[in-house]
Amino acid sequence: MTTRIFGSGIKRREDPRLITGEARYTDDIKLPGVLHMAVVRSPYAHANILSIDSSAAEAMEGVVAVYTSEDIGDGLAGLPTAWLIPDSDLKTPEHPALAKGKVRYVGDGVAIVLADDRYRAQDAADAVVVEYEELPAVIDPEEAAGEGAPLIHDDVEGNIAFTWAPFDEEASNAAFEAADVVVSERILQQRLLPTAMEPRSAMAQYNAATEELTLWCTSQNPHIHRFIISAVTGLNENKVRVIAPEVGGGFGSKIPCYPDEALVSWAAIKLGVPVKWTETRSENYLITIHGRDHVQHVEMAASNDGKILGVRATVYAGMGGYLSTAAPGIPTILHGLLYVGPYTIDSVYCKSIGVMTNGTPTDAYRGAGRPEATFLLERMVDNVAREIGMDPAELRRRNLIPAFEDGHDVAAGLTYDSGDYPAAFEKALDMAGYGDFRRQQKSAEAEGRYLGIGVTAYTEMCGLGPSQVAGAVGFQGGLWESATVRVTPTGKVQALIGASPHGQGSETTLAQIIADELGFPVDDIEVIHGDTTETPMGWGTYGSRTTPVTGAALAQASRKLKDKARALAAHLMEANVDDIEYADGSFSVKGSPDQAQSIQDVALMAHLAWNMPEGMDPGFEESQFYDPPNFVYPFGTHIAIVEVHAETGEIDLQRYIAVDDCGPQINPEIVAGQIHGGVVQGVAQALCEGVVYDDNGQLLTGSMMDYCMPKADMFPNFELGETVTPSPHHPVGVKGVGETGTIASTPTVYNAVLDALAPLGVNQIDMPLTSAKVWSAIQDARS
């Protein structure tokens, strides 16, 4: 009996090149004659540009040109916002590649310098003299939406870019009025820095004779980048080739099309030589999108016996100085539709107000809208539990949606695909020893030690998603994927995909799907991605969608090939197709197992085409477009156990239990890796990460000296468990798992800490829960 490759935790085939430094990133690509671009960036968060004097810079050795927005003129269109949420009175202020007359956040580009050397480019950038008239700045989104806030864009009245409130407010009010208990909290979802290991980089080369532009860039979605670069440069899309070579992580920050990518393209066209730009880490923190940034006013209604009746929130979502590519969709579609979570809540209301501020633009960051929803929901469940005096785990148990296999409609308007929330929940509680812990907690408290436990039950929507839904919610693209499975005459496989993985291990996972469907050894399968000329169209890697959507396309393309192989094998063995049996990559005739054709034999014969059945085309290659009929909804329960040291405010994360259900696991090691990384990022939001600006909009957390990235020694060994509930609508039943850890872990750890602090009378602390804040909260509660 052979071991099935689907479900096997084989090593990631990406890792040897990554670990040995042989991977080739954008900045590793060297072109002769390349010019280096440095960007003169605004030191002010909000200012009028009075004058720009580049004469000294232009005279410096090695400097080829200095350009401002005036020089670009109409050579570059403004960067588009590509998620136009409907019924929200959305304003899309112009986002020029270089500021026109006004800067709107620290780091906003004012001029570019092109020089023959990166150092000289920087020297010259420092020599560009810009005279500014500083204007009052505003960072807090709620404040920016208030009276008297400085106006950031003349055409965005009151700084309000959109107001999205699709639910029935009257019905929500009625539910709240009828409730025994209403709890409320003002929750700050602090700004976060995505901090991909590889900073962003872009290099463009233009061939004037063929009018072709090649752009190498750090992209999660090269086909979307091609689309946008074509739109902003005016080049025909077929003349633009975007290549995302090795990309060192993104977490959403490499979805948007940024000014820098447009600028290298424009300069390469203008000057006729290649132009490269690679950001520094300081630039990365200033100008690459930030995540989260919500001020949420949340309420939950419940009955005294623990029935959750409704949740409602008004959310001020900071957009920053401009609307980034997908920004409007994040605090709306990907947020408010998740307000029911895994619970039987009949009433939801969300009013999400997108507010322009003088911060760096925000956009999708791992989880994108769903962590912010899950946090508020889980926080409020704990608040209700405390209010009515019920154990928070018991309150969750009473409100979980019972198991369902094929569709469940919820009040937020979604139809969940499948779920068995109680099974994952009880498994996690068992793993944690919940009842025992509560007893230990009591005895510890008697000794003056403060232990706490946090439990999060979650589900989330990912595998984005049906294109019809994308259209209905204003996403300016489809959300299908396409893939080609191409088998060479010698029986080796090239799988070409439109998605663009950048560290997830998808080259391994997707190869396992193909190997499982067709019987090729997994090592004979190569997954090719990232080049718009080599690969078929796709919408990219984000929203935990590559395995669910691209994986489905590959499974279906493989099945087409298998049908062809079966028919050809039957023909070659002079048997009836219905008599062909398939096992482990071999086709045989029922009853004569000694007569067989391997998949490799069949591939060769299909290529040779010496003896094809009537009507069968030669070759061994199939393509598939796959538009998912629904999102997929992974789910699970996470539990954290912490001890808070009252003397210092330090938090010791002692145990972390995660039970996740992403359907059948193609590669359990990769699933575990995704959960580990996601949990670390989510816990970091709870405990240590957070952007801080001063009142003038200066970024104070501008380096890792102040912005606290999580460290390995902050974490215990994670205790993972799983349940397996296939998605009913997916060819191989799988759901996404790239974001679940981030979505579930922030409230889990936050609630654990607040549970520990409950005996001390502390009810709320803004994230991140630094020791200084925890200690101060304890002092305040005592005094």
Partner 1 sequence: MWPNKFDYLRAGSVAEALASAADGGKFLAGGHSLLPAMKLRLDSPEQLIDIGRIPELQGISANGALTIGAAATHAEIAASSDVQTMCAALASACGQVGDQAVRNFGTIGGNIAHADPASDPPTVLVACGATVNIQGADGARSVAAQDFFIDLFETALEDGELITSLSLPNCSDCQCAYVKFPHPASRYAIVGVAVCLKMDGGSCAQADVAVGGATMKAVKCAGAEAALTGTTLDDAALSAAAEAVKADIADDLIGDIAYPEAYRQQMAGVFLKRAVAAAQG
**Residue 775 engages partner 1 in binding (rule: CB under 8 A):** yes
Strand 493-497 with 481-487, pairing: antiparallel
Give the range of 365-373, 405-413, 663-671, 771-779 binding partner 1 by CB under 8 A. Answer: 771-779
Q: Which is nearer to partner 1, 47 or 125 (CB)?
A: 125
Question: Is the distance from CB of 417 to CB of 728 less than 8 angstroms?
Answer: yes
**Residue 270 engages partner 1 in binding (rule: CB under 8 A):** no
**Residue 698 engages partner 1 in binding (rule: CB under 8 A):** no
Exactly one of 281, 438, 442, 590 binds partner 1 (CB under 8 A); that residue is 281
**DSSP secondary-structure letter at 550?**
I
3-state secondary structure of 123: helix
**DSSP secondary-structure letter at 648?**
T
Q: Which is nearer to partner 1, 11 or 281 (CB)?
A: 281
**DSSP secondary-structure letter at 291?**
B
Residues touching partner 1: how many (CB under 8 A)?
29
Pattern of binders to partner 1 over 642-681, x per CB under 8 A? Answer: -----xx---------------------------------
C-alpha–C-alpha distance, residues 280 and 432, integer Å: 43
Query: To which residue do tokens 């066209």 refer?
Result: 269
Question: Is the distance from CB of 353 to CB of 331 less than 8 angstroms?
Answer: no
Exactly one of 50, 583, 608, 700 binds partner 1 (CB under 8 A); that residue is 700
Instruction: Please state the closest distance from residue 277 (CB atom) to partner 1, in A.
Output: 12
**Residue 688 engages partner 1 in binding (rule: CB under 8 A):** yes
Exactly one of 539, 770, 777, 778 binds partner 1 (CB under 8 A); that residue is 770
Taking CA atoms, 465 is separated from 480, 556, 757, in Å, by 7, 17, 41
**Residue 587 engages partner 1 in binding (rule: CB under 8 A):** no
Exactly one of 184, 236, 280, 592 binds partner 1 (CB under 8 A); that residue is 280
Question: Is the distance from CB of 118 to CB of 106 less than 8 angstroms?
Answer: no
As given in the structure block, the two tokens for residue 504 are: 């997830």
Instruction: Please state the closest distance from residue 759 (CB atom) to partner 1, in A.
Output: 21
**Residue 696 engages partner 1 in binding (rule: CB under 8 A):** no
C-alpha–C-alpha distance, residues 743 and 461, integer Å: 11
Give the range of 182-190, 253-261, 554-562, 696-704 binding partner 1 by CB under 8 A. Answer: 696-704
Exactly one of 701, 718, 721, 759 binds partner 1 (CB under 8 A); that residue is 701
Instruction: Please state the closest distance from residue 406 (CB atom) to partner 1, in A.
Output: 46
Give the range of 169-177, 430-438, 600-608, 768-776 binding partner 1 by CB under 8 A. Answer: 768-776
Q: Quickly list DSSP for 557-619.
A: HHHHHHHHHHHHHHHHTT--GGGEEEETTEEEETTEEEEEEEHHHHHHHHHH-SSPPTT--SS
Q: Quickly list DSSP for 339-373.
A: TTTTB---EEEEEEEEEE-SSPPB---TTTTHHHH
Q: Quickly list DSSP for 224-282.
A: HHHHHHHHHH---GGGEEEE--B----TTTTSSPPHHHHHHHHHHHHHSS-EEEE--HH
Instruction: Please state the closest distance from residue 693 (CB atom) to partner 1, in A.
Output: 10
Pattern of binders to partner 1 over 103-122, x per CB under 8 A? Answer: ---------------xx--x
Instruction: Please state the closest distance from residue 772 (CB atom) to partner 1, in A.
Output: 4
As given in the structure block, the two tokens for residue 288 are: 């690459």
Of 484, 464, 467, 485, the residue nearest 476 (C-alpha): 467
Instruction: Please state the closest distance from residue 157 (CB atom) to partner 1, in A.
Output: 33
Q: Which is nearer to partner 1, 122 or 488 (CB)?
A: 122
Instruction: Please state the closest distance from residue 119 (CB atom) to partner 1, in A.
Output: 5
Adjacency order of strands within the sheet including 621-626: 525-528, 493-497, 481-487, 621-626
Q: Which is nearer to partner 1, 209 or 705 (CB)?
A: 705
Question: Taking CB under 8 A as the criterion, which residues in 709-728 touch partner 1?
Answer: 709, 711, 714
C-alpha–C-alpha distance, residues 684 and 436, integer Å: 27
Q: Which is nearer to partner 1, 8 or 696 (CB)?
A: 696
Q: Which is nearer to partner 1, 534 or 647 (CB)?
A: 647
- CB neighbours (10 Å) of residue 591? 9
Exactly one of 705, 712, 717, 783 binds partner 1 (CB under 8 A); that residue is 705
Exactly one of 178, 197, 616, 772 binds partner 1 (CB under 8 A); that residue is 772
C-alpha–C-alpha distance, residues 340 and 134, integer Å: 45
**Residue 28 engages partner 1 in binding (rule: CB under 8 A):** no
Taking CA atoms, 288 is separated from 105, 140, 251, in Å, by 12, 19, 12
**What radius of gyration do the chain's Cα atoms show?**
27
Pattern of binders to partner 1 over 508-537, x per CB under 8 A? Answer: ------------------------------
**Residue 277 engages partner 1 in binding (rule: CB under 8 A):** no
Residues lying near partner 1 in the complex (CB under 8 A) = 38, 118-119, 122-123, 126, 280-282, 647-648, 687-688, 692, 700-701, 704-709, 711, 714, 770-772, 775-776
